[in-house]
Amino acid sequence: MDEVIRMDHISRYFVVGDSVVKALDNVSLSVERGEFLGIMGPSGSGKSTMMNLIGCLDTPTDGHILIGGEDTGSLSESELAYIRNRRIGFVFQQFNLLGRLNALDNVITPLLYSGMGVGERRERAMHALERVGLAERMKHRPNELSGGQKQRVAIARAIVTEPDIILADEPTGALDTHTGNQIMDLFRSLHQEGNTIVIVTHNDEIGRACPRLVKIRDGRIEGGED
């Protein structure tokens, strides 16, 4: 099987004043291509640290993490940026769209950093917006879109690079239940198309909707999965 995420005895410590906080303590996890994984835990459990490590925004204090077979621990800032660009598609709770750009330009942005030609960028971005059902809104700016529409633009931005992992952080946290369900439906259909999806959440309902669920508490995986 094709392993897209592999964590081997990962620890991540932070020094706060005089004390050392163990955000993650000896965690191991393996995710295969095409999985739909939920990472659930209360706030302060270490799930955000986990997301930052998978998203190559951070590197572990101890242990090895392989994203698409590549050990990120030894990589420079630019090399991490390259992996984020090619292998990870982020979806955030607060959408994090660029306010000055319209939906299409927002979706194009990650393609700018991969050095793609103008025509292909546009075509792929339009295709991604079609995929999330927002083709007719592509000239709208974020402030002209509803919360659900913003999150759809963000998802289009995440899938436009055809990443190995779609990494979502509380993707329904800022939405009402109905819209949240629609977004979860969108994730499910993306999963059915073969995408690997990792959702980080503290919400039981969202967690239960994930085919595979990993619970985290106090920096460790509960039940010792993996």
Partner 1 sequence: MFFENIKLAFKSMLANKMRSILSLLGIVIGVGSVVAILTLGASAAGSITASLESGGIDTISLTATPTAKNYDTFDERLGQRLMENVEGIEAVIGISSSRIRIRNGKIIKTNNVYGVSSDYHTINNYNVAEGSWFTSDQNIQRSQVVVLGSSIAKSLFPDGDAVGSSISLFRSQGSKSFTVIGVMEKKDSSFTASYNDSLYIPYNTFTQRIQNVSYVGNYVIKVADGYNAVTVSDNISAFLNRLVGSDSFFVFSQANLSEIASSITGTFGTFLAAIAGISLLVGGIGIMNIMLVSVAERTKEIGIRKALGASPKVIRGQFITEAIVLTMVGGLVGIALGSGISFLVCRLVDWSFSISIKSYVISVGFSTFIGLFFGWYPAKKAAMLDPIEALNYE
Sites of contact with partner 1 (CB under 8 A) = 52, 55, 57-58, 77-78, 81-82, 84-86, 90, 92, 96-98, 100, 109-110, 112-115, 157, 161
Provide, rounded to whole angstroms, the least separation between the CB of residue 180 and partner 1. Answer: 22
Smallest distance from partner 1 to CB 1, Å? 27
Residues 6+ apart with CB under 8 A from 23: 12, 13, 14, 46, 49, 219
Shortest approach of partner 1 to residue 81 CB, angstroms?
4
The DSSP letter of residue 72 is: G
- H helices present in 132-211, as ranges: 147-159, 177-192, 204-209
Looking at beta carbons only, is 17 or 99 nearer to partner 1?
99
User: Least distance in Å: CB of 129 to partner 1?
Assistant: 16
Residue 14 CA, distance from chain mean position: 22
Closest CA relative to residue 156, chosen from 56, 87, 89, 88: 89
Q: 20 φ, ψ to 5°?
A: -105, 125
What is the strand order of the sheet 196-201 is part of? Answer: 88-91, 165-169, 196-201, 36-40, 212-217, 220-221
In this structure, what token pair is assigned to residue 116?
A: 């793609």
Q: How far is the CB of 88 from partner 1 (least distance, A)?
A: 8
- Would you tell me how many other CB atoms lie within 10 Å of the CB of residue 25? 16
Which of 158/213 has CB closer to partner 1? 158
State the amino acid at position 193 in one-letter form: E
Compare residues 50 and 209 and give the one whose CB is closer to partner 1: 50
Shortest reach from residue 183's CB to partner 1, in Å: 19
Q: Pull the structure tokens for residue 194.
A: 């073969």
Terminal-to-terminal C-alpha distance of the chain: 16
Nearer to partner 1, 84 or 131 (CB): 84
Is the Cβ of residue 83 or residue 213 nearer to partner 1 in the bound state?
A: 83
Residue closer to partner 1 (CB basis): 20 or 112: 112
